[in-house]
Amino acid sequence: MNNSVMIQIPGTTANCGPGFDAIGIACTVYNDFELTFHDSSRLVIEVDGEGKETIPTDEKNIAYQAVLDLLRKINHQIPGMTIKMFNRIPLSRGLGSSAAAIVAGLVAANELTGQSLSKQQLLDIATSIEGHPDNVAPAIYGGVTINVCRDGATECLRIIPPKPLLMVVAVPDFILSTKAARQVLPKQVPLQDAVFNVSRSALLTGAFCTGEYRHLSAAMDDRLHQPYRQQLVPGMPEVLRAAFDAGAFGSALSGAGPCLIAFCDQNADHIGQCMVDAFQANGITASCMVLSIDTDGAKRI
Ligand SMILES: Nc1ncnc2c1ncn2[C@@H]1O[C@H](COP(=O)(O)OP(=O)(O)O)[C@@H](O)[C@H]1O
Ligand SMILES: N[C@@H](CCOP(=O)(O)O)C(=O)O
């Protein structure tokens, strides 16, 4: 049995507008995660890159907890371990950093213990830890994933769109925890809003399957979460509008925010600059990342 493994895990953008807790995409921004088991009982966690100052380096670390969850699941003894991570996924911004940490811990521990669990089993464990499947599924499988929770398991359909798609992410310089962004959501919604989202989610899935991205303008509209979260992201309507005016097919809140994401197939840098400028006009400093779809998901490197 090898006692050390290195995993690369992609960031993810969830919801894509209407697909709240259901649709997610793996993106070409990656964390590196190294797990080593050793004989001593010590736990060592070293964090570099994003979150270096804030991510816990003790038992509270969620990647470490995911390693423990997997070891307990397969009745493996808990050894001493060293975790080294280099993070490029911005924290608490809506690009799935927590999902990446959970998936990293699960995949690394599974690799070190003989790969006894399937991707489906890892997905089910990851979903139960994260609480929703739309980030952990694409982090595991790559691509665009449509995710349905049923009878305690997560059913995941992975799509690789037939035409290239770029994702322009405007990253504002403030954080918003997913927990806080879920607390502003209502417990119930009007039937017409549910119908609105059902039709847009179906159109969105069809656009990804066929590459008919001209539908994304209508397909990325949402009434289930964005109207409530807008108050948490200054300038959100203006930034989304700026992306569209600059030529994006469509735009939305990335995950629970505060990142805003636009989809296009050209002029990505220009669209990004327009989004950053629109944030700036609303008093928010932001930077821009141009990403494409990661098709591999978490993998050993
Ligand atoms: N690499 C990591 N290792 C351990 N914990 C992490 C890591 N990345 C993120 N986290 C935890 O996840 C939290 C952010 O999760 P969340 O609020 O869901 O935002 P995000 O949209 O980035 O997933 C961080 O505050 C941190 O506690
Ligand atoms: N469906 C979730 C997605 C959260 O994604 P994150 O990247 O912000 O953690 C939600 O909208 O709450």
Rounded Cα–Cα distance for residues 39 and 45 (Å): 16
Give the CATH number of the domain where residue 57 resides: 3.30.230.10
How many other CB atoms are there within 10 angstroms of residue 77's CB atom?
A: 6
Q: What is the DSSP letter of 293?
A: B
Tell whether ligand 1 has an atom less than 6 A from the beta carbon of residue 96: yes
Please indicate, yes or no, whether residues 45 and 146 belong to a single structural domain of this protein.
yes
Residues 175 and 253 in one domain: yes
Q: Is 98 annotated as a binding residue?
A: yes
Same domain, 20 and 128: yes
**Which of 291, 264, 144 minimizes the C-alpha distance to 205?**
144
Task: Tell me, in angstroms, the distance from the centre of ligand 1 to residue 292's CA.
Answer: 22
Together in a domain, 8 and 147? yes
Q: Is 106 annotated as a binding residue?
A: no
- What distance, in Å, lies between the first and last C-alpha atoms of the chain? 17
pLDDT band at 190 (very low <50, low <70, confident <90, very high): very high
Residue 246, domain CATH: 3.30.70.890
Judged by DSSP in three states, 282 sits in coil
- For residues 172 and 145, membership in a common domain is answered with no
CA distance 234 to 239: 9
- The pLDDT tens digits of the residues spanning 42-101 come to 999 999 999 999 999 999 999 999 999 999 999 999 999 999 999 999 999 999 999 999
ipTM of the complex: 0.99
Alpha carbon of 93 to ligand 2 centroid (Å): 9
Tell which atom from ligand 2 comes closest to the C-alpha of 22. 1
Q: What is the reported pLDDT for 103?
A: 98
Do 148 and 185 fall within a single domain? no
Q: How far apart are CA 28 and CA 13, in angstroms?
A: 11
Domain that holds residue 209: 166-292
Model confidence pLDDT, tens digit, residues 231-287: 999 999 999 999 999 999 999 999 999 999 999 999 999 999 999 999 999 999 999
18 with 153, same domain: the answer is yes
Do residue 36 and residue 115 come from a single domain?
yes
Sheet containing strand 250-253, edge to edge, reads 250-253, 260-264, 166-172, 286-292
Rg (CA), the chain: 19
What distance in Å separates the CA atoms of residue 24 and residue 127, rounded to the nearest whole number?
13
Are residues 189 and 254 located together in one domain of the fold? Answer: yes
Is the domain of 138 the same as that of 226?
no
Q: What is the pLDDT of residue 40?
A: 85
Q: 14 alpha carbon to ligand 2 midpoint, in Å?
A: 6
The predicted structure's pLDDT at residue 2: 60
Same domain? 30 vs 152? yes
CA of residue 20 to ligand 2 center, whole Å: 8
What pLDDT score was predicted for residue 19? Answer: 98
Structure tokens at 167: 């994702």
Going by DSSP bridges, is the β-strand pair 80-87/43-49 parallel, antiparallel, or unpaired? parallel
Task: Confirm whether residue 100 is marked as ligand binding.
Answer: yes
Look at the block and give the residue holding tokens 């300038």. Answer: 235
Q: Is 185 annotated as a binding residue?
A: no
The single-letter DSSP state of residue 46 is E
Alpha carbons 266 and 245: distance in angstroms, whole number:
14
Mean pLDDT, the chain, integer: 97
Say how many domains are in the chain.
2
Beta strands in the chain (DSSP E): 4-15, 19-38, 43-49, 80-87, 144-150, 153-159, 166-172, 250-253, 260-264, 286-292, 299-300
Ligand nearest to the CA of 56: 1
Determine the average pLDDT of the residues in 135-154.
Answer: 97
Mean of pLDDT values over 93-110 = 98
Count of alpha carbons within 13 angstroms of residue 31, beta-carbon side: 33
Residue 85 in contact with ligand 1 by CB distance below 6 A: yes
Residues 45 and 103 in one domain: yes
Residue 263 tokens read as 């989809």
CB contact set of 300 (below 8 Å; sequence gap of 6+): 5, 6, 7, 8, 107, 111
Using an 8 Å Cβ cutoff, are 145 and 137 in contact? yes
Cβ neighbours of residue 197 under 8 Å, at least 6 residues apart?
A: 18, 20, 222, 223, 224
